Amino acid sequence: FVVLLDVSLSNLANMAEPEEELQGEDGGSAKKVQKRSRRKKEKRREEEPQVLEEENQRCFDCVLLRGIFKLGKKSHDVLLTRTRLTWTPIVPETPTGEPCTLQPGVVLLQDVFAVKVKRRRAVGQQTGGAFLGLALFYCRRRGRKLEEDTLHLHNSSSEHTHRWYSTLKEQLQAFSSRPRYLKVFINPCSHKKEAVYIYREHVAPLFKVADVRTDITVTERRGHALSVMKECKLDEYDGVVCVGGDGSVAEVCHAMVLRAQLDADSPEKPVKPALPLGIIPAGSTDVVSCSVHGVRDPPTAAMHIVLGHLQQVDMCSFSSFGQLMRFGFSAMFGFGAQSLARAEKKRWMPSSQRREYALVKTLARLRPEDCQISFLPSNRTNRNLSEQHCDFGFGLFDLLPFFRSVVAVGEESWTTIQGLYLSISVMSIPCLSPVIPRGLAPNTRLANGSASLIAVGNASRSEFVKHLKRYSSSSGQFSFSFVETHDISAVKIQLQAVAGWPEEESEEEESKTSPIIQSEGATCLWNIDGELVEMANEVLIRVHPCLITLYGEEVDEAESAVSCSCI
């Protein structure tokens, strides 16, 4: 590499010499020549890093090994570089001149997650056996899905096989983000109680092939993952994995941030966990998993983990009167929380039926909430400020006068809106799902340092249904006069009058026009990451840019698999 670099630099230096001579010969047009020469030099200076980069790449991609292997029944010329393995069929010329039907092929090492030596063994034989060659385990993309595939390279020479095996192993070990030891949490009660089965069938075999060791906790109750996370020796692991639905994911994320705060002795300020989190979807909606994988598919999720694909993700803190409630990705108040509350009361129903029942019933009893929303619009200045002031206090908000639209406090400009709202959502990730491929919050990204505030004002039932329907069709869900969206870095939502939440039994008698007003200090229900959370009537949500690292990638749109039949 050094030699090549030296050669390319000296070539560049030699190229410069004739020009210097030209300048000296023609004194009359010296200025013009000087100008031309300056321009050429500038151009060369611009091109230099590019030339070096190309040389660098060529050198990086120089052949490490070359040998003959059989792929299927035919011999191939196989080349290994630092980035790829390529094979070309070796075809002897035939007297009839028949064209070769075999194609050359390539697999990138970034997609290879394991290499194994193949031996011929008799039934029951545990060790030894004649060498057959190598098996390369790699991942293939099919749309958003990542699928496992195997390349068999046959050569019975032990020396040849060993040389290739150790070189390939060495190259794969250079991928530093790939985990070797993982802490795994499985929620056996998620959705259809299939999380343990999903892990055993789709994830454990892949981890075994990729030589990833695991320490598994099957959670026994709500909060179990949090208590284990508080005490376990995290520095032994390379990552954490959660097998479950959005509620389990939110609990593990919350636990990881709290643990990082504890370790850093930072009681006020959220601290980014050192370990990444992998999510194996086993819930009913799985929007967090879908937002970083683009598909709800456990093998794809496991593949992102073994290949060490890392994605930074923004998170929110939810607090009330200075007290942190939890960290999470999304919160819904109004319609989203009311329908979840109704669904939770019918846990005995099959999940799709339960959701449809809850949606239809909540639509039938649609009622707005009187709220005041104060938000800090997201921009670079505000984002920096929000990073600095990420304590959970309400100091700044206490200074907000009522009914003002824009209030400047220091350098922060808070905007306040007030009225009747059918639904208020705050999402720091797009919340993709197969039903809503572009997500509940298509205007936000995984790591843009802001969240989407979607406030749906009071409207007729039919207008509200139109707005909801447009989520699953294409777009235009926000182009209604009663819908407002804002990119925010913080928001405070204050319920002005608390409407009672009548018991299901008495719902039939519930008045259609006059909600029961309760006394001050009563709590209200929120849907936070698919979990029903009771909070005081004042909630502060702050965005914490890139607070967590998830195994996955940035995804624009999820693969659409099913359509929602309920509305």
Ligand X SMILES: Nc1ncnc2c1ncn2[C@@H]1O[C@H](COP(=O)(O)OP(=O)(O)OP(=O)(O)O)[C@@H](O)[C@H]1O
Report the first-to-last Cα separation within the chain, whole angstroms. 63
Nearer to ligand X, 191 or 492 (CB): 191
Closest CA to 292 of 144, 512, 93, 106: 144
In the bound complex, what is the minimum distance in angstroms from residue 246's beta carbon to ligand X?
A: 4
Nearer to ligand X, 251 or 297 (CB): 251
Q: How far, in Å, CA of 526 to CA of 425, rounded?
A: 10
Q: How far, in Å, CA of 537 to CA of 555, rounded?
A: 35
Nearer to ligand X, 206 or 255 (CB): 255
Q: How far, in Å, CA of 346 to CA of 561, rounded?
A: 26
Nearer to ligand X, 29 or 352 (CB): 352
Nearer to ligand X, 249 or 455 (CB): 249
Q: How far, in Å, CA of 358 to CA of 81, rounded?
A: 57
Which residues here bind ligand X, judged by CB under 6 A?
187-191, 219-222, 224, 244-248, 251, 283-286, 530-531
Q: How far, in Å, CA of 533 to CA of 540, rounded?
A: 14
User: Which backbone phi and psi does 118 adopt, to 5 degrees?
Assistant: -100, 135
Contact 450, 383 (CB under 8 A): yes
Nearer to ligand X, 189 or 465 (CB): 189
Q: Which residue matches tokens 């029942």?
A: 357
Nearer to ligand X, 280 or 540 (CB): 280
Nearer to ligand X, 259 or 383 (CB): 259
Contact 475, 442 (CB under 8 A): yes
Nearer to ligand X, 180 or 222 (CB): 222
| Buried b / exposed e along 376-387 (16+ C-beta atoms within 10 A) | bbbeeebbebbb
Q: Under DSSP, is residue 89 helix (H, G, I), strand (E, B) or coil?
A: strand
In the bound complex, what is the minimum distance in angstroms from residue 284's beta carbon to ligand X?
A: 4
In the bound complex, what is the minimum distance in angstroms from residue 355's beta carbon to ligand X?
A: 9
Closest CA to 178 of 124, 139, 143: 139
A 10 A CB-CB count for 39 gives: 10
Q: How far, in Å, CA of 445 to CA of 430, rounded?
A: 6
Nearer to ligand X, 206 or 280 (CB): 280
List helix spans (H) across 62-118: none
Q: Quick one: how far is CA 357 from the chain centroid? A: 31
Q: How far, in Å, CA of 205 to CA of 529, rounded?
A: 30
Q: Which residue matches tokens 């607070």?
A: 547
Nearer to ligand X, 219 or 425 (CB): 219
In the bound complex, what is the minimum distance in angstroms from residue 527's beta carbon to ligand X?
A: 10
In the bound complex, what is the minimum distance in angstroms from residue 228's beta carbon to ligand X?
A: 11
In the bound complex, what is the minimum distance in angstroms from residue 529's beta carbon to ligand X?
A: 8
In the bound complex, what is the minimum distance in angstroms from residue 545's beta carbon to ligand X?
A: 25
Q: Which residue matches tokens 């669904």?
A: 343
In the bound complex, what is the minimum distance in angstroms from residue 220's beta carbon to ligand X?
A: 5
In the bound complex, what is the minimum distance in angstroms from residue 244's beta carbon to ligand X?
A: 3
A 10 A CB-CB count for 319 gives: 23
Nearer to ligand X, 179 or 283 (CB): 283
Q: How far, in Å, CA of 355 to CA of 338, rounded?
A: 12
In the bound complex, what is the minimum distance in angstroms from residue 282's beta carbon to ligand X?
A: 7
Mode of pairing for the β-strands spanning 323-328 and 406-409: unpaired
In the bound complex, what is the minimum distance in angstroms from residue 475's beta carbon to ligand X?
A: 25
Q: How far, in Å, CA of 541 to CA of 332, rounded?
A: 11
Contact 77, 87 (CB under 8 A): yes
In the bound complex, what is the minimum distance in angstroms from residue 193's beta carbon to ligand X?
A: 9
